[in-house]
Amino acid sequence: MSRQVVMRDRQAGHAPTGLAQLLLRGVLAGTMIAHGLRHARTLDGTSGWFGSIGFRRPRLQAQLSAAVEVGAGTALAGGVATPLAASAVVGTMAVAYRSVHQPNGYFVTAEGWEYVGFISTAAIALAALGPGKFSVDRLLGLDGAGKPWQRAALAAGLGIGGAVAQLAAFWQRPQPKAAESAPTADSEGRARRLRCRGRHRHGIDSARRDGADYFAQRCGRLPPASGTHRRRRRRRTRRDALMIRTRFTEMFGVDTPISCGGMTGLGTAELISAVANAGALGFLTALTQPTPAALAKEIARTRELTDRPFGVNLTILPTINPVPYDEYRAVIIESGITIVETAGSSPKPHLPDFRRAGVRVIHKATSVRHALSAARTGVDAISIDGFECAGHPGEDDISGLILIPAAVARLSIPVIASGGIATGAGLVAALALGADAVNMGTRFMATTEAPIHENVKEQIVANDERDTVLVFRSLHNTARVARNSISEEIAQILSRPGATFEDVAHLASGTRGRTNVLGTGDMEDGMWWAGMTQGLITYVGTCEAVVSNIMTEAEQIISSRLPGLMEGRHGH
Ligand SMILES: Cc1cc2nc3c(=O)[nH]c(=O)nc-3n(C[C@H](O)[C@H](O)[C@H](O)COP(=O)(O)O)c2cc1C
């Protein structure tokens, strides 16, 4: 290095060697580019996440963040316009600080702001130092512009200013879910309206709208997937998914240990193909179709929309009008379905035919004793529903925290934890309890593709964990349904001595709930099923966003929070 250059370096406040700056630029550039590429590759998941943390126009935010991160990273790598590139880093980190990390405290293991603090400080330091001699700025003679403190102030000021502007224009912190008001019809309605308004204010609508756009464009009203489209979808899903491998993913050939249980009225081609394309395992509900022939058509329609695995749910319940179960079973087999979820009565009468046809059977149970007896009949896996679940939780009132490990301890076949799960934390907890996968119902109701009225999805987001009612307790056929004036009336009538199902049949009719509530969105004109997870569901998004967000959160917990706790780094 010539004497003049060294003198110029000293005057401009640079260290005589560019090695330190090169290292600093390299690590900042690598981090920014890696984040930007990840956001760009998982654009749907990223936009769902932006929506869930309170950003309006979440898809635009996702695109912008990917572009800014890759752009700033590339500029830093080359040492181009270094103070400006550093300001983009500071801005990105400041937005992340305010919208996500600030309330979590300092430590990164608890999603605190340690990481964003370090990155932005390093970027400001780099602006002050200058890019060093291995940089485009140096080649152009721009690296000495301004004094070090001025360059640092420019990076910090521009970055923080940009972040403030972005947050002011697009962001409002989502409110924690409001507690329910006293259960009078008036006050409840008011509380719900307020909660709904809160949700509108805080951008969840836009997440839903963006999801709807995506749905319309990508899978929505639903253009048959060509071979190329299907391959692209599959490649995208596989690349994006965190590879948590369990006996469930291996046995059923899916990317994630997540299933969408059979849901009467919802388990149709639109929802189940979207679940499958998201890398999870969904189940068409056989009895949603009026006849076995209609089920055959629905299976064919689903195949048009996905080439990923999906199954059929066969819920076997005593009914007034006999259901041709054998014919439904025959259609399932003839249609080449290889995964079946059975529920209700014992699957025993159906197993020989399923076995012969090579169909794998998951049986849903609500107690360890029923799970064991199903296992003895030869089913391949057990899906065990805790007391929190939507639908029939059984009569033992045992929560998943006990039921899952109790079942795992007694069963040698894979166990799927069901009921009360809607988040990545729930998935990790279920895996920790020994389950091989999770099954969700209510979470998938609040998706763009769920074929139900938007009011229902909005109500789920607005509701909290107390917005369910147990009905039919006295009839020993307990069902957990969403709280509304109808379900409260049913519970109240059935609590009277001697009350029978006939006393509530007009209120509890499944057809009324499906037509009036799920179909036309009149939330007080029928009984509809939903679980306690309503208290955890904060946005309506595409199935792909929901699955991807759950996997991302699970990844964060497994790879960062839990190891951090082992090292004594607790952030709470
Ligand atoms: C609207 C709705 C309809 C359902 N219908 C059925 C059904 O027909 N058969 C069945 O086995 N389970 C049914 N379920 C239960 C789900 O498959 C799943 O086990 C349950 O929702 C899990 O609890 P979660 O809602 O807390 O995730 C239904 C659930 C909901 C929310």
pLDDT tens-place values along the chain, 572 residues long:
455 655 565 555 555 568 888 999 999 999 999 988 877 876 655 665 676 677 888 788 888 889 999 999 999 999 999 999 999 999 999 998 888 778 667 876 445 788 899 999 999 999 999 999 899 999 998 888 899 999 999 999 999 999 999 999 998 876 544 332 232 333 333 333 333 333 333 333 333 333 332 222 222 222 333 444 444 444 444 444 458 999 999 999 999 999 999 999 999 999 999 999 999 999 999 999 999 999 999 999 999 999 999 999 999 987 778 899 999 999 999 999 999 999 999 999 999 999 999 999 999 999 999 999 999 999 999 999 999 999 999 999 999 999 999 999 999 999 999 999 999 999 999 999 999 999 999 999 999 999 999 999 999 999 999 999 999 999 999 999 999 999 999 999 999 999 999 999 999 999 999 999 999 999 999 999 999 999 999 999 999 999 999 999 999 999 989 999 988 877 65
Which whole-number Å values give the CA distances from 308 to 14, 72, 162, 237, 521, in the listed order? 57, 38, 43, 11, 31
- Output Rg (C-alpha) for the chain, integer angstroms: 27
Ligand 1 center to residue 366 CA distance, Å? Answer: 12
Ligand 1 center to residue 272 CA distance, Å? Answer: 14
Sorted by where each begins, the domain ranges of the chain are: 3-170, 195-454+537-563, 468-529
Question: CATH: 3.40.50.620, 3.40.50.920, 3.10.250.10, 3.20.20.70. Which one for 195-454+537-563?
Answer: 3.20.20.70
Closest ligand 1 atom to the C-alpha of 388?
26
Cα separation, 478 vs 480, whole angstroms: 7
Pick from 507, 486, 482, 252: nearest CA to 380 = 252
Cα separation, 65 vs 297, whole angstroms: 43
Closest ligand 1 atom to the C-alpha of 285?
8
Cα separation, 372 vs 384, whole angstroms: 11
- Give the model's pLDDT for residue 233: 43
- Backbone CA torsion sign across 534, 538, 540, 544: negative
Mutate to test the pocket of ligand 1, among 288, 421, 529 (most ligand atoms within 8 A of CB): 529
Pocket of ligand 1 (CB under 6 A): 261-264, 266, 285, 313, 315, 343, 364, 385, 388-391, 418-421, 439-443, 445, 529-531, 533
Ligand 1 center to residue 380 CA distance, Å? Answer: 20
- Give the model's pLDDT for residue 216: 28
- Give the model's pLDDT for residue 429: 98
Pick from 408, 418, 352: nearest CA to 379 = 352
Closest ligand 1 atom to the C-alpha of 287?
8
Ligand 1 center to residue 263 CA distance, Å? Answer: 5
What are 94's two structure tokens?
């400041």
Element (H, E) at 376: helix 368-377
Ligand 1 center to residue 266 CA distance, Å? Answer: 10
Ligand 1 center to residue 262 CA distance, Å? Answer: 6
> CB under 8 Å to 106, separation ≥6 — which residues?
112, 113, 114, 117, 571
CA dihedral 25, 27, 32, 34 (to 10 degrees): 140
Cα separation, 145 vs 128, whole angstroms: 11
Nearest CA to ligand 1 atom 11: 343
**DSSP symbol at 322:** P
What are 170's two structure tokens?
């697009």
Nearest CA to ligand 1 atom 1: 529
Question: What is the SS3 assignment for 383-426?
Answer: EEECCCCCECCCCCCCCHHHHHHHHHHHCCCCEEEECCCCCHHH
Supply the pTM of this predicted model: 0.64
Closest ligand 1 atom to the C-alpha of 288?
8
What are 413's two structure tokens?
């076949």
Encoded amino acid at 484, one letter: N
Ligand 1 center to residue 179 CA distance, Å? Answer: 25
Mutate to test the pocket of ligand 1, among 258, 259, 260, 264 (most ligand atoms within 8 A of CB): 264
Closest ligand 1 atom to the C-alpha of 445?
31
Encoded amino acid at 455, one letter: N
In DSSP terms, 315 is beta-bridged to 343
Cα separation, 74 vs 211, whole angstroms: 30
